Amino acid sequence: MLKINSNYKQLKDSYLFYETAHRLADYQKEHPDKNVIKMGIGDVTRPLCPAVVDALKKASEEMGVAETFRGYGPEQGYDFLREKVRDYYAEREVELELSEIFISDGAKSDCGNILDIFSKDNLVLVPDPVYPVYVDTNVMAGRRIIYMDANESNDFLPGPGEFEPGTSAEDAAEGPDLIYICSPNNPTGAAYDREQLKEWVDYANEKGAVILFDAAYESFAEGDDIPRSIFEIPGARTCAIELCSLSKTAGFTGTRCGYTVVPHDLVRDDTELNALWLRRQTTKFNGVSYVVQRGAEAVFTPEGRMQIKENIDYYKENARVIMDALEDLGIWYTGGVHSPYIWFKCPEGMDSWTFFDFLLKEAGVVGTPGQGFGNNGEGFFRLTAFSTRENTEEAMERLKKVLAK
């Protein structure tokens, strides 16, 4: 008899953003006239920048002419895009070989796919609160997960050894095999500085663990002290894989393009992980479309860089509007500076889902309940700065009004 992957039975009933979308849909069915402002899932609102649109158009035209038409592309991505990614890292004195860069259809997919190259027996360490994809993809594979204790007292930036209470002494002593770090962080918006990340790199090298570093929000980091890549940290080439995406950087949430960096120096079990990942990709992936890769290439041109910066600055200003409102209300928060996410304490001691319902019903604003990101998220709430300025300002006015009642 056919057997399903019974690990799926261990998953929560639904993916967090699916659940919030359903609650919103139910509410809208009952209140079709209510103008609800969405600040829940981190989906962007600024359109693709003109440099990207021009590149997409040009590439589409090429695909309609026999002489310039392209069929299957290289699984690892076209050189024209990988060279741009390599040069982008070189600006921060991170030297990469082209063969270490793999173009993907976004960080989320690779975040799940990369697990193909690791045994099911590995122990996984994720922060709590956490982007649910890190947990769910490992639950699907049947891996055991332990948690870092991210909380208000460590500014939601736990270091090595800060395990959640309840972690067995044996697991704590042995340490994890796979470590997930997202910085600037989703969902909290907190960002590790160089010294803090160095501690993680040293710990991973000492334990022989591998860090899966999610750099999807790197373009929001400000100043020299917040690394945009883990490879800015000495020692990272022997213990880290980096996943990055153009979704938040350049509005590619619907266009889909990102990249994964697997250094040749990363060797475990006498095997280069780069070779395993290449083997996996050439078997299971046919690459990102030529048209989209041309659009992505344009993101890295001087013109594209200038245009996407305008959008990032726009979102940062939205974050400022949210932070100002929380300050006016005397609500504790973190994030917002190096990140499009603002993570705050639910007012009046409400739990996260109660505040979700309160905010939706009383103010017509949708956010994401912290509890959906893990137990440590209970009592916290996440808003994104990806809305329009007008909606962000309106939402904050509504928040102030309902909390003043």
Interacting residues with ligand MLT (CB under 6 A): 41-43, 108, 131, 186
Q: Which is nearer to ligand MLT, 186 or 249 (CB)?
A: 186
In this complex, which beta carbon is closest to ligand MLT, that of residue 131 or of residue 192?
131
Number of helices and strands in the chain (H, E): 13, 15
* List of residues 6+ apart from 262 with CB closer than 8 A: 100, 102, 241, 273, 274, 277
State which residue, 38 or 86, has the beta carbon closest to ligand MLT.
Answer: 38
Least Cβ distance, residue 165 to ligand MLT (angstroms): 26
Per-residue buried b or exposed e for 118-135, using 16+ beta carbons within 10 Å of the residue's own CB? beeebbbbbbbbbbbbbb
Q: Given the complex with ligand MLT, which of 293 and 384 has the nearer CB atom?
A: 384
* Rounded least distance, CB 218 to ligand MLT, Å: 13
Between residues 229 and 339, which has the closer beta carbon with respect to ligand MLT? Answer: 339
Find the shortest distance in angstroms from Cβ 179 to ligand MLT.
Answer: 20
CB of 220 to ligand MLT, least distance (A): 13
Q: Which amino acid is at 390?
A: E
Exposed/middle/buried for residue 288 (C-beta within 10 Å: 0-12, 13-18, 19+)? buried
Cβ 318 to ligand MLT, closest distance in Å?
Answer: 15
CA–CA separation, 46 vs 310, rounded Å? 10
> Least CB distance from residue 41 to ligand MLT, whole Å?
4
Nearer to ligand MLT, 84 or 382 (CB): 382
Side-chain-facing half-sphere of 397: CA atoms under 13 Å = 7
Task: Give the nearest distance from C-beta 394 to ligand MLT in angstroms.
Answer: 20
3-state secondary structure at position 181: strand
Q: How many CB atoms lie within 10 A of CB 342?
A: 29
Q: How far apart are CA 60 and CA 53, in angstroms?
A: 11
- The dihedrals phi and psi of 128, each to the nearest 5 degrees, come to -125, 115
d(CA 329, CA 187): 21
Looking at residue 362, what DSSP letter applies? Answer: I
Q: How far is the CB of 248 from ligand MLT (least distance, A)?
A: 7
Cα 229 to Cα 159: distance, rounded to the nearest angstrom: 18
Rg (CA), the chain: 21
Choice between 42 and 335, CB closer to ligand MLT? 42
Q: How far is the CB of 187 from ligand MLT (least distance, A)?
A: 6
SS3 of residue 5 by DSSP: coil
DSSP single-letter state for residue 140: H
Closer by beta carbon to ligand MLT, 276 or else 359 = 359
> How far apart are CB 44 and ligand MLT at their closest, in Å?
9
Nearer to ligand MLT, 42 or 127 (CB): 42
Q: In Å, how far are 41, 105, 122 from 49, measured between CA atoms?
A: 21, 19, 42
Residue nearest to ligand MLT (CB): 42
Rounded to an integer, what distance in angstroms lies between the CA atom of residue 298 and that of residue 311? 15
